[in-house]
Amino acid sequence: MSTPLRIGIAGLGTVGLGVIDILRTHATTIAMRAGRPVEITAISARSRRDRGIDLSAYAFEADPADLATRDDVDLVVEVIGGENGPAKETVEAALASGKHVVTANKALMARHGTALAALAERHGACLRYEAGVAGGIPVVKALTEGLAANAVTRVMGVMNGTCNYILTKMEATGEDYSDVLTEAQALGYAEADPAFDVGGMDAAQKLALLTIAAFGTHVDIDAVKVEGIEQVTLTDIRYARDLGYRIKLLGVARSGDGAVEVRMQPCLVPAQSPIGQLESVVNMVVIEGDFVGQTVFQGPGAGAGPTGSAVVADIIDIARDIRVPTFGVPVADLREYPTTTAGSPATYYLRLTLEDRPGMLAKVAAALGQHGISINQMRQTEHEGGSAPVLIVTHACLRQDLDKALDEITGQSMCQDTPVAYRIETV
Ligand SMILES: NC(=O)c1ccc[n+]([C@@H]2O[C@H](COP(=O)([O-])OP(=O)(O)OC[C@H]3O[C@@H](n4cnc5c(N)ncnc54)[C@H](OP(=O)(O)O)[C@@H]3O)[C@@H](O)[C@H]2O)c1
């Protein structure tokens, strides 16, 4: 029998217990696929409380950094969470000892991923994070292996199940954002403090990781444009639908002109596109390559089973001795392109609440025209008291030009409300 790969698991929450369940349930199959047994030897958590399964066969370490340096651990699974603190200390201790690391921690990887990958390279260890991006969907593997023949042209994704649940439920039931958020919390889809999800940062961290792997560039997570779904109204969801679109919290990354453009924001996408048809908590990632064209990956983005599945797949690769650099290329080969928020040209959906008096539409058209923005479609919806809601779809323009025109429209008091503007992403 070949030498077992010995696993230490730091964190016994949702994901940690999911990993243990899979390693036990499929021990024989995993050993065959990996070419060697995969055995858990040690575990760590804050407390030794009963977790509903027998963990007595494994050594327990109160400090996960001690687990990371045990002689009987070859690979550390970090499923504690958090971008610093014990998670980072554990991963650094493991890599510095030449032990492999598999993590589900997007916050840690988005902030410190390239430094940790460099540490792994210096010590001849593997660092993998498939579970940190879109849960059970093998999208890091797709980028770094399956699509490695291509120059990636664009990566897009709906990577936060909570947000997609809220937006699709609002559309289906006509309920407001706050009511659906409360329901999502009751169902366990949203955290008690949902800011990280609905504010877009959870999905932005995943997008940052995909961007590094897709374009071979460093990404400054603080420079990523992040906008959440808190301001998305039922009114805009319905108007977008009438125009043939749906609103999604969409992450988009592309590279060009010596910069990498990374944005996480609510966008309109064609209702009939794969992303437009995505319902509920499901995630989707679209990768476009110069030779392959468009590829679409869909699946569960969270939960013990899907996330554990991705962790164990990384473990099996390491057990097979498959050595892929963390981000597809060695850290020294990652380019230093700046991370930019300047969006490429796009068409925009605008909703303006104009004063209901003659000549207002002409003034709006003139303000847009002065900044080089032409109108593709304009619709005036039913009047509400003294206001006239107007929907505009522009031809392709730059966001900075649009913002100048909207400032002018607001400055001249043509609008009764703050104008609403969403990018329409071609999918
Ligand atoms: N849940 C998902 O569906 C999902 C999906 C994708 C990625 N992830 C990522 O996976 C990671 C884990 O998530 P989770 O949902 O499993 O979290 P969780 O349920 O909160 O579990 C965290 C575990 O870490 C342990 N822990 C916390 N501080 C520790 C310390 N100082 N020393 C030792 N152990 C410590 C906790 O111990 P106690 O139990 O004793 O408190 C707990 O067992 C996070 O990075 C998360 O972003 C999760």
Decide if 336 is inside a domain.
Answer: no
| 80 CA: nearest ligand 1 atom | 24
Same domain assignment for residues 193 and 273: yes
Same domain assignment for residues 31 and 151: no
Question: Looking at the 3D structure of the chain, how many domains does it have?
Answer: 3
Per-residue CA distances from 285 to 167, 189, 275 (Å): 18, 20, 8
Same domain assignment for residues 222 and 252: yes
Same domain assignment for residues 240 and 288: yes
Annotation says 206 is catalytic: yes
Return binding residues: 106, 191
133 contacts 210 by C-beta, under 8 angstroms? yes
CA of 82 to the centre of ligand 1 (A): 9
Please give the backbone phi and psi of residue 20, each rounded to the nearest 5 degrees, phi first: -60, -45
Decide if 322 is inside a domain.
Answer: no
CA of 88 to the centre of ligand 1 (A): 13
Quote the distance between the C-alpha of residue 135 and its chain's center.
10
CB of 201 within 6 A of ligand 1: the answer is no
Using most ligand atoms within 8 A of CB, pick from 12, 63, 80, 202 the residue to mutate for ligand 1: 80
Query: Using CA of residue 63, residue 38, residue 94, residue 130, what is the dihedral sign?
Result: negative
R_g of the chain computed on alpha carbons = 24
3 contacts 19 by C-beta, under 8 angstroms? no
Q: Render each residue's pLDDT in the chain as its tens digit; 427 residues.
A: 589 999 999 999 999 999 999 999 999 999 999 999 999 999 999 999 999 999 999 999 999 999 999 999 999 999 999 999 999 999 999 999 999 999 999 999 999 999 999 999 999 999 999 999 999 999 999 999 999 999 999 999 999 999 999 999 999 999 999 999 999 999 888 888 899 999 999 999 999 999 999 999 999 999 998 999 999 999 999 999 999 999 999 999 998 888 899 999 999 999 999 999 999 999 999 999 999 999 999 999 999 999 999 999 999 999 999 999 999 999 999 999 988 877 789 999 999 999 888 888 999 999 999 999 999 999 987 777 778 889 999 999 999 999 999 999 998 888 888 999 999 999 9
Rounded Cα distance between 104 and 209, Å, is 12
Decide if 252 is inside a domain.
Answer: yes
Please give the backbone phi and psi of residue 69, each rounded to the nearest 5 degrees, phi first: -110, 10
322 contacts 34 by C-beta, under 8 angstroms? no
Same domain assignment for residues 147 and 54: no
Domain enclosing residue 380, as ranges: 347-424
Q: What letters, b where the CB count within 10 A reaches 16 and e where it falls short, cover 121-132?
A: beeebbbbbbbb
Rounded Cα distance between 391 and 354, Å, is 10
Rounded Cα distance between 342 and 223, Å, is 11
CB within 8 Å of 411: residues ≥ 6 apart: none
* Among protein residues, the one whose CA lies closest to atom 34 of ligand 1: 45
CA of 132 to the centre of ligand 1 (A): 12
- Could you tell me which of 288, 305, 308, 299 has the C-alpha nearest to residue 132? 308
* Among protein residues, the one whose CA lies closest to atom 33 of ligand 1: 45
H/E element holding 64? helix 64-68
Where among 132, 167, 201 does a domain terminate? 132
Give pLDDT, residue 196.
95
CB of 200 within 6 A of ligand 1: the answer is no
CA of 87 to the centre of ligand 1 (A): 9
CB of 301 within 6 A of ligand 1: the answer is no
DSSP secondary structure of 178-190: HHHHHHHHHTTSS
Decide if 331 is inside a domain.
Answer: no
Same domain assignment for residues 282 and 414: no
Same domain assignment for residues 156 and 249: yes
Same domain assignment for residues 234 and 106: no
Decide if 283 is inside a domain.
Answer: yes
Decide if 178 is inside a domain.
Answer: yes
CB of 52 within 6 A of ligand 1: the answer is no
CA of 16 to the centre of ligand 1 (A): 7
Decide if 308 is inside a domain.
Answer: no
Please give the backbone phi and psi of residue 38, each rounded to the nearest 5 degrees, phi first: -115, 115
CB of 211 within 6 A of ligand 1: the answer is no
Instruction: State the CATH number of the domain containing residue 403.
Output: 3.30.70.260
DSSP 306: H
CB of 420 within 6 A of ligand 1: the answer is no
Rounded Cα distance between 377 and 236, Å, is 16
Return binding residues for NADPH: 106
Give me the catalytic one of 88, 99, 141, 206: 206
Instruction: State the CATH number of the domain containing residue 287.
Output: 3.30.360.10
